[in-house]
Structure 1
Amino acid sequence: MFVRLWKEMRQLGPTFLVVNLILLALGLFSHFTIENPNHEAYLLFSTWGLWVVFVIGVSLLSVLLYGNEFSFNTLDFLLAQGISRKRIWTEKILALWILLTATYVSFSIGIVIIDYRAGFVPRLSANMDELVWAGFIGGPLLIFAVSAAAPLLALYLRQTHTAFWLFVFSPALIYIGALVIYVFLVILGLRISIEFTHFPGPLILVFLSGFALFRWSFRRFERLEIRPGISGSETISKEWVILPKVSMDILLPNSAGSSPRLFAKEMRLQRVGFVLATLMVFAWGVSYAMVKVVLPDAIWEESGFINSIPELAIVLKVISVNALLFALPMIFGCDAFAQERNLGVEPWALSQPKSRLSQWSIKFEAAMIPALVGAIVATIMSDTWNHMVLSPQATGLDDGLRAVMGPHEWNLWTPLLLFSICFYTSSFARGSIQAFLYALGIFVATVYMVTVGRYSLHSIDIPLRAIEGLLDYPGFGFLFPVCLLFLLFSYSNFRARQDFTSSHFVPQVVAWIAVVGCLSIA
């Protein structure tokens, strides 16, 4: 048993290590900014970063529990063992819970460090205690719920990449359902508060749903059948191969050249990004329609903002806009090169009668164009929604939420940096998920280097918005060289792909540290 348990933990080990290092780094991030005038902004960034990385890490570890078996084509060896499937399933869940518990410990350490540093900021010290207790209590509940639902989704989709991103943004579907139900309750004249403070209903629902999902996951694993892979390392459901292939064959005539067809091929490989973008636009449309169209002004004015439909709608809007603005560039960047390795068609792609520069350019265009369009659409969606919420009809909107939802300028440089880093990591990573993990670590390390260099050494006071404009300074002068550096690295890796070795990383790491360091202290 212990040998098999260690095998499961070792398989998830690299992901577990990266996630925990990022959590601890974000906790220590506030230690080096205590003397900075923008210490409050950095505390907010560290706090939100901890929660985001914790949710992503728990979800990713849970999806990889079965996703790795599909990615590495080891499912047949797993099921061929001389033990029952019930025992295999139990050992897998036990190994997952051990790793998730250790991840929760790292998350708690980061929360405690931030809570201690928040004592130096009077505005935040009162709210941080509530955040600490929310982390201590909500962390185990999150682990229980995610470890029950995420493996089940991976078992049904039979792959990792799609299952992970759909699961991360699945709350949007839940909010859509809750919003529709709540609209009908309001229209029927029923008023039910959506604040469940001191109410055991949600807690009971989480436990009952969790046990039901665990039972469902076990039954699915018990009836799991082995399917042959698609000439590569990842077994993909037929639906996910056909779904994005809607219009490319119709738009391209038989006389189309090789470059347009290679571009169409790259667009098909980005199917996960297009599915997620469609889902998020639909979620935003539902939130906007519910508040602006479905509800008459009288109901809007009577119900106000708190404890009403707009509270659900605003969460749905925040999820959809942030997904398009930050997650979508990462998905398109990670899938640019690594998706071909997932499918096992990279040797065929490299043998095309096109120069490496031409192929790299086509990949860059196919990934960059939808990512940029998504960021622009997210900006328009956010401004449209905010203008509607801040209208005189929103009589119940308090000052705190008005400040959060107030007019602002979305920063497009941060999505560009995320895309460039993911595009670079995709050029050498074994798969899209691995590229995403590497990119997350590089992004946090870049922000950390900038903070230490710019503020600890020189104490330069440059305005910084905590979340949306994290790297807003000084715009083109700082981020453009860093983005260009990662793009050049990606081309270098792609050009030397057949002869690529770990020695290629040494000059790239040195150049990255030198460029970011020089720009930080300049």
Structure 2
Amino acid sequence: MNALIRKEIRLLRPAWITALLLAAWPAYLVRPLLIQEQGSALAFWLGSLVLGLTSFGKEFNAGTFSLLLAQPTPRRRIWRVKVSLLAIAFASVFVVWWLSWLLRLAGAPMNKELWMGLQIGGLLALGSFSGGLWTTLLFRQVAAAFWFTLLIPAALMFSVSMLLEKHADSFMIMVLYAVLGIYAIAGFWWARRLFLRAQDAQWTGGTIVLPAWLGVGPAIRPAVGVPKHKPLRALIWKEIHSHHVSLLIAGVLLLLHSAAIAIRSAESGPSQPNNILHMILEFWWALWLALPLVIGSSAVAEERKLGTLESQLCQPTTRRTQLAIKLAVALLLGTFLGGFMPWLLESAGTRIGVANAIASVRSSVEFFSQPLVITGLASAWITVVSLYASTLTRNTLQAMGAALVVGLTLTGIVGWAIDATPRDGGLPWGMPLVGWIGLPTLLATLFWLSFKNYKHLHVGWNIWLRNLLTILVSVAFAATATGTIYKRPWEGLMTLEPRHGTVQLSGPVRPKIRIV
């Protein structure tokens, strides 16, 4: 096998495995907090998005793009190898996603919602293929490429659905395929042009920072004066500055979500022949959940990529304090942007007569019945898992892939334990017990492992293996403790009554033996 092909396979292999897992697992692990078809389509979309960004994104993250351009191989041949292997990877992921649902149905007829979800998933994968190529080559930054790859196909589907809202779904699907096909061809052509004309240093467009009047931008400092040593405040502002791209994207999402609510209020109702527009508008709030993923994934991994983690660990502040500040800022931003903002906007839409499932959702667990609690806990969970994955990886792209796999696996295990009933095999636990034992144990394990991983400048397979074994032990402990407390096996060693001894007569009346 050619060395260039072997190198490209090694480059795509982690993201390809991640995308395969995200394509296959949601059909079995997604639980009632999300509609199964929508949750599966969302997981498949995120997996294909990470796969599309990997081909050139890992080159820029590792600093090997200049070496790739300097190889004694024509650029057209390098382009053909990269695109061909990426297309094969995308095709295999889509086939696995399709087969996983066919096996999940086990011969049952496919309903309309699932069929529409599979079609929309194919459209999104097509957009992620070309979008991941041209965005990484244009911006050469994974964070910016991620958001443009995520939002542009969604915006195209939204625009087409608005223009053809009076037409039937079959015609809408054909037009969407045509539009996203044109977008894929145009993006592919532009990406090829960018690669064939790429230089070592690209045009950056200048430095984009938040304005100083918001309190987070660069401020003019006096030349003289006694500096006030406030390390905690400096660390907090430093963490907020590192997430300024996510804050800018949050402003864009705010405008788009407000426009979606306004359009939903203007349409006559879901009984119109166009159901695709209604589905897109109803599920628009889920884009906010990508913010906690990016915020948590870039917390530590981006510093490893930029080489600033070593100097960060040498600061006159304990590492425990540094990680606590990172976690607090990430949790605050992730929970507010990913949990509170979609609930606030959808609740405002409900007040004006535009109801959505997120504003009135009810979980099967009675304690988590409020929509704000559900979105807030989901965003906090995504942030915690993403930050944990960030401590295990070297850049944001790897952290997002690891966060998706780890988060989906742990969420599936938790959902499987919560929904376990006697008809599912008689599992010896219920929600109250496994919730109060398993969730604190799992969170404590993730926090402890995050702190241990944060202290390492370089991460390898030995650290990954240690983390895997620790998580497996914590899950086994939670399951064993829950089952033991529920079944109470120690009662088998206990007698129902105290041991009887010699018969003795006692009491205030003295018995007498009567002889007849």
Normalising by structure 1, we get a TM-score of: 0.76
Residues 343 and 358, structure 2, Cα contact 8 Å, conserved in 1: no
Unaligned runs of 5+ in 1: 31-37, 120-124, 183-190, 229-235, 392-401, 464-471
Cα distance change of structure 1 residues 308 and 226 upon mapping to structure 2, 3 Å threshold: farther
Label 1:450 to 1:146 Cα distance change in 2 as closer, same or farther (>3 A).
Answer: closer
Secondary structure of 1:226's match?
Answer: coil
Which position in structure 2 is the counterpart of 1:363?
Answer: 326
| 1:21-43 residue CA offsets vs partner (Å, 9 max, x unmatched) | 3433334549xxxxxxx9xx59x
Is residue 426 of structure 2 the alignment partner of residue 458 of structure 1? yes
Could you say which residue in structure 2 is the equivalent of 1:347?
310
**Aligned residues of 2:41 and 2:121 also touching (Cα < 8 A):** no
Q: How does 1:331-346 map to 2 (within 5 A)?
A: 331-346=294-309
Q: Does 1:205 align with 2:171?
A: no
**1:492 Cα shift?**
2.6
Q: Which amino acid aligns with 2:152?
A: S
CA distance in 2, matches of 1:250, 1:212: 38
Please say if residues 450 and 520 of structure 1, whose CA atoms lie closer than 8 Å, have aligned partners that are also in contact.
no
Q: Which has the higher contact order (CA 8 A, sep 6+)?
A: 1
1:89 Cα deviation from its structure 2 partner: 1.4
Q: Distance in 2 between matches of 1:110 and 1:64?
A: 24
**Aligned residue for 2:216?**
248
| 2:407 counterpart of 1:443 | yes
Is 1:63 the counterpart of 2:53? The answer is yes
Q: Which residue of the partner structure matches residue 260 of structure 2?
A: 287
- Indicate conservation of the 8 Å contact 1:252/1:261, yes or no: no
Letter in 2 for 1:91: V
1:315 aligns with: 280
The secondary structure found in structure 2 opposite 1:197 is helix
User: Structure 2 CA distance, aligned partners of 1:373 and 1:404?
Assistant: 16
3-state secondary structure, aligned to 1:12:
helix
The partner residue of 1:156 within 138, 145, 149 is: 138
**Aligned twin of 1:186:** none
Post-superposition Cα deviations, 1:333-392, rounded to whole Å, max 9, x if no partner, equal: 11211121122211121111111122112212221211122222222112111232358x
Distance in 2 between residues matched to 1:380 and 1:4, nearest whole Å: 50
Whether the 8 Å CA contact 2:264–2:354 is kept in 1: the answer is no
Deviation, 1:237, is 4.2
SS at match of 1:248: coil
For the structure 1 residues 170 and 389, does the alpha-carbon distance in structure 2 shift closer, same or farther, using more than 3 Å as the test?
farther
Aligned residues of 2:165 and 2:274 also touching (Cα < 8 A): no
Contact 2:22 2:47 in 1 (8 A): no
Larger radius of gyration: 2
Is residue 423 from structure 1 mapped to residue 387 from structure 2 by the alignment? Answer: yes
Moved more, 140-149 or 150-159: 140-149
Cross-structure match for 2:448 = 488
8 Å contact kept, 1:422–1:439: yes
CA contact (8 A) 1:166 1:276 kept: no
Q: 3-state SS of the aligned residue for 2:130?
A: helix
Contact 1:47 1:114 (8 Å CA) reproduced = no
The farther-off stretch of 208-217 and 192-201 is: 192-201
Q: CA deviation at 1:270?
A: 1.4
Displacement after TM superposition at 1:71 (Å): 0.8
Q: Tell me the alpha carbon deviations over residues 47-86 of structure 1, each in whole angstroms, 9 at most, x when there is no partner.
A: 3333222211222111111111111111122111223222
Cα distance in structure 2, aligned partners of 1:437 and 1:515: 27
Q: Equivalent residue for 1:72?
A: 62
Tell me, in whole angstroms, the C-alpha distance in 2 between the residues paired with 1:461 and 1:507: 23
**Displacement of 1:265:** 1.3
Residues 454-503 of structure 1: CA distance to partner in whole angstroms, max 9, x if unpaired?
5245357979xxxxxxxx99867754443333123212322455798526
Spell out, residue by residue over 1:384-409, the C-alpha distance to the aligned partner (whole angstroms, 9 max, x if none). 11232358xxxxxxxxxx76875653
Query: CA 1:519/1:287 → structure 2, altered by over 3 Å: closer, same or farther?
Result: farther
Counting matched residue pairs gives: 459
Supply the AA of the counterpart residue of 2:114.
L
Q: Name the CA distance, whole Å, in 1 between partners of 2:287 and 2:433.
A: 23
Cα distance in 1 for residues equivalent to 2:474 and 2:220: 40
Q: Does 1:221 align with 2:184?
A: no
TM-score by length of 2: 0.77
Change (3 A) 1:101 1:424: same
Distance 1:487 1:252, change over 3 A: farther
Q: Give the equivalent residue in structure 2 for 1:131.
A: 114
The aligned residue for residue 122 of structure 1 is none
Gaps of 5+ in 2: 363-369, 487-516
Deviation at 1:10, TM superposition (A): 1.7
Q: CA deviation at 1:110?
A: 0.9
Supply the AA of the counterpart residue of 1:85: R
Cα shift readout 1:233-284 (whole Å, capped 9, x = no counterpart): xxx9465x53346542556966452221221111121133213311211112
Name the CA shift for 1:198/1:519 in 2 (closer, same or farther; >3 Å). farther
Quick one: structure 1 residues 453 and 474, their matched pair in 2 at CA, closer, same or farther if it must change by over 3 Å? closer
